Amino acid sequence: MSLRVFNKKFIHIVRDEKFIDSAYRDFEEAAPNQNVFLIIGLIKKLKFIKSAKVFFIRPRVLWLFAPLSHFFAKAVIFHSIGSVFEENLLLKINSKTNIAWISWGYDLFPRLKNIEEYLFPITKGFYNSYSYSNETINDQLNGNFKRSFKVKPSNIDLISRINFISPVLKSEFNLLSNSFIIENQKYLRWNYLSLEEDVISKNSEINISGKSLLLGHSGSIWLNHLDGLKELDQLDLEFDQIILPCSYGDERYISLLKESLKEKSETIQLIDHFLPYEEYVKVLEKCKYFLINTERQIGLGNILFFLYYGGFVVIRKNNPVVEWMSELEIPFTELDSSDFVLVKGGDLETKSTLLSFWGKETKRSLTIDYLAKIGS
């Protein structure tokens, strides 16, 4: 009697987020019909995924099959690790199966230090005013099965088990490596989106001609919105309106923002409803500046947009994105008496640099190489 030989696939553990459509496109282009995208959970309703073929799987089923992964998986790719269940699942996967972690930032930086250390005074007050936690797969578990995942694995155990780590920027891997002494060969570059397919092709007629300032890109507490408003008093920037896009994010935090800003509605526009991509681009065209008030990588899609089309990016000096721009020799200037730098986009050299780093052809070769390495 012999075991049945399965046609092994690359197993992707994903969540319902807008980046997954581009990931599905890129991985399927690199290895057609060799990828299976799974969402852990019971709620079979998608909000952000539009074109990717995904399957919903019960946590208990995935847990039972994890030790047998070497029979059906070429590798398991976690598109962020956002719950204690996923952390325990990762350790349950058979040791013969390679595991890749494509970090989104939110799942990396809290492993370096407590989230409160990334928040500035006003936002920290918000954080302490309620029990902050992202909705996770743990909320969908029940009974004894749920109780078995109250123990959070150590970061050292998790990182030791992961074979390949792919943060958005190499500088983020360096931060992780400095904290946990990780072998450099664990780093494997891969990013979501390509400029031609996800930024340029849809926006050939873009003209950033407005005079507004875009503060953040979502309703994430990491963006320190109210502290950012206070910082603007110290920055020599000329604009006629402040726009806060909060179409998605933490609903409790967004509610607190709306309550705090209700008396400033004449000069501050908070967008809390979903905007189709074309309408969101029109909002971006109205903005001369894009301000990111955080010390972690976030909002890189918007940063690429402004760098390519000629807006100004205002970002904290110690944000990993600044190190990335330095490596690519994208010029920026430090703003006097502040913790920010100013980056002017739109010049031919910057466009060429971005296309070389984040272009379609680069992305295609990176994805092919990525699958070859993690599947070996």
> Which domains, from first to last, does the chain contain?
9-192+360-374 (3.40.50), 195-356 (3.40.50)
Q: What is the pLDDT of residues 317-337, one digit of tens each?
A: 999 999 999 999 999 999 988
Instruction: For 46-64, give the DSSP string.
Output: -SS--S--EEEE-HHHHHH
Tell me the average pLDDT across 267-287. Answer: 91
- Tell me, what DSSP letter sits at residue 65? H
Describe the chain by its helix, strand, coil percentages, rounded to 5.
45, 15, 40
In this structure, of 13-17, 32-36, 196-200, 309-313, the range with the lowest mean pLDDT score is 196-200
Average pLDDT over residues 280-290: 95
Does residue 11 contact residue 34 with C-beta atoms inside 8 Å?
Answer: no
Phi, psi of 222 (to 5 degrees): -60, -20
Q: What is the mean pLDDT of the chain?
A: 90
Per-residue pLDDT averaged across 149-170, rounded?
Answer: 92
pLDDT tens, position by position, 44-94: 789 889 999 999 999 999 999 999 999 999 999 999 998 899 999 999 999
Alpha-helical segments (H) within the chain: 20-30, 59-65, 69-72, 84-92, 121-129, 143-147, 155-161, 170-180, 195, 225-232, 251-261, 277-285, 300-309, 320-327, 348-358, 360-374
Residue 3's pLDDT is what? Answer: 41
Contact 76, 69 (CB under 8 A): yes
Q: What is the mean pLDDT of residues 265-286?
A: 89
Confidence of residue 4 (pLDDT cuts 50, 70, 90): very low
pTM, two decimals, is 0.90
**Predicted confidence (pLDDT) at residue 5 exceeds the cutoff of 50:** no
Q: Say yes or no to pLDDT of 266 above 80.
A: no
pLDDT of residue 264: 77
On the question of pLDDT at 202 being above 80, the answer is no
Please name which of 177, 182, 178 lies closest in space to residue 160, comparing C-alpha atoms: 182
pLDDT of residue 148: 56
pLDDT class of 276 with cuts at 50, 70, 90: confident
